[in-house]
Structure 1
Amino acid sequence: MVEELAQADDAIAACVDAPAWALPEHDLIAALDAAHRLEQRLAAVKLTLIREIDGRGTARTQGASSTAVWLRERLRLTVPTARRLIDLATALDTGSPGIRQALADGTISIEQARVIADTATTVHATAGTQATDKAVSLLTDWATQFDPTLLRKLGTRILDHVAPHLADTAAQAALDAEATRAARDRHLTLSEQTDGRLRLTGTLDTETAGLLRAAIDPLTTPSAADDQRSPGQRRHDALTEVCRLALRTGELPEHGGDPAQIVVTTTYDALTAKLGTGTLDTGLPLTPQTVRRLACDATILPAVLGGTGQVLDVGRQRRLITGPLRRALVLRDRGCAFPGCDRPPRWCHAHHIHHWADGGTTNLANAVLLCGHHHRHLHHSDWTIQLGHDGHPEFIPPAWLDPEQLPRRNHYHPRT
């Protein structure tokens, strides 16, 4: 298969630089149709490979917490995109073979395949295998005429065509399927922008949407007759207030042994001079005004830093990596330090590089932040950890994964 794909790659490379401007209109359209059909056929191959990788557990063997995370690192995908590919690969493998064949033939697109697979799952639960095969055949034919959005609308009444005697239950089945899809597709993405702000995108299920509206709607009314904030700005400020209220309750679960809190790093001289910026434990910068405002209602915890930002002294040694030492560890690692992991410090455990039970000391030079999955993985694998020349952790993969055993680092967490 690798050789065949290499030959296909060479053929496509020859087309990339071909002068499209020289094609007559008929050939131009024919080339577009052929490229689109080839794209779908390659998608079928890709989904087959993803299904096999997921079934073998390759991702966890190589240290990733899931196949979706592994695909993100390997193919540079977003995790939601990777999850959708895994779900579709599973559906095509376990569902009606007609969907995979239509995709492999290039007669349907990958988005149409996802719609047909979702509909087939609903029909199978309601009417059985025979009706499912009829539905897949009919939807595949309709896919030559309708885009995925219209195809999904048609699919909501597919039982009228393949099992009329069950049409009365189709609406309920469609509602149940929609609820399942809503639960599957729910997500919230926090994307860091270059200026330190966050862009929030995502899809909330019905219940969560109701909770969010109930929480922020009372706080979005104009504060005064001359309130110049836009509706979007008022919703932003309402979300801020909801988060502050949640932190003030003291009822949020602990993260890494510390209460839920925000941590701001600044210098003493900058704070007293009212001129210095600060940095959140997530790596995002804060203006001097924001630092001063937060400091008015904060506990000040000292940490002595060297010229390169390396923590020199945070308190006495102890067995557990908590308190000042953990905060120093968060300042250094910013989150799970395992390569390819983007989990934040609040989700992480503090791990002794040289195990405490084996005589390892409890200090910054012998500690690393790891999320729960990678903490367990390090204890049951041949990966090793060392600190690089700059004091940041490096991970040495086992020889079977990388014969050269080149050190790897995490590049997802910003450094100061």
Structure 2
Amino acid sequence: MLRALAQAAGGVDDCADAALWALADDELLASLDAAHVLAQRLATIQLALVRELDGRGLAVAQGASSTAVWLRDRLRLSGRSARQLVELAATIDAAPPTVRAALLDGSLTVEQGRVVAETIGALPAEAGPEVTDKATGLLVTWAGRFDPTILRRLGERVLAHVAPDLADQAELAALDRAAERAEARRHVTLSEPKDGQVRLTGNLDTETASLLREAIDPLCAPTGEHDDRSPGQRRADALGEICRLTLRTGHLPDNGGDRPQLVVTMSLDALVNGVGAGTLETGARLTPGAVRRLACDAAVLPAVLNGNSQILDVGRQRRLFTGPLRRALVLRDGGCAFPGCDRPPRWCDGHHVRHWADGGATTLGNGVLLCGHHHRVLHQDDWIVRIASDGQPEFLPPAWLDPARTPRRNLYHRRC
């Protein structure tokens, strides 16, 4: 084998010295195809060598803890690449001989070979040699037309082509196995705040993911022509709105004897002047703008301290638009009052036209319903809301949008 590999290396040297610029277009394309096929064939030889030395235990005999560790040092690979090499070698070795033959003659790439081998390995035990051979031949044929991703999807239904009587039974069994794995691996992790961000990661089973998708999809649509949020940003905002809605319902179980409620602690000066940060119960810090915005929210309890850190107020009831007052807001506004928004009342907070921290009263004449997105817009941008002489809320756009700042109203919810 060493002599053959040396000859192959000589051919590589000749290719490396070739003047690529002098190749005609058709020769350049043909050379690329040939180089790719040769690389895949040589990779198959490497996998066979790895499998053989792993089977002999040569790595452990030389003092390494595993074949992957030995390969990492000898071939100067990353640990992950070395492990994948050993795993792929075992996968290809366990596949039907047809798979390795197709790899060696260039009919399959290594990636396709992995897909075919894993698909065949996942066939039910009831699929005998005849079904296995048919499935392998069909997958190898498909590999001539499809990339590994599509080939894997086709492989999920290969039994329907070669053994329809087993397909339904196998699909149900595969779904049960996948559900068990998803349930065992389900998790959600919130990392510690860093640079103002908390990283949300996790895995959900299909059922839970479908519930989440159904819950956030109605809130992910752009709210108007000036909504320049990315799809990911809209999903993040929708998740926040769902949490606000859940906290407002009051149906969550008690947590430590109290109804679940977000508590923001800040000094009185910070709240009134909007120049200081607030602190959550977790210790995370919030910007002054976020503090003032959350102080409007019925799902948030502001704990206001004086200069000596003594509690001055922990969420006065008159701050919240609840009960008959909220019902009056719903009857008047019909939903988010921001121009062009179609969010229903249940997705909205009561917002003080004159901020509560500035002495604004919690009254119908000083309140307006806003969805989470437009609540943030009003706090962050130059929009102004006011109650007009007819008792209806109207919004003055920023000068960059409308130099005349012509008042606008939401006509979406009007029924007259």
TM-score under structure 1 length normalisation: 0.44
User: Greater relative contact order (Cα 8 A, min sep 6): structure 1 or 2?
Assistant: 1
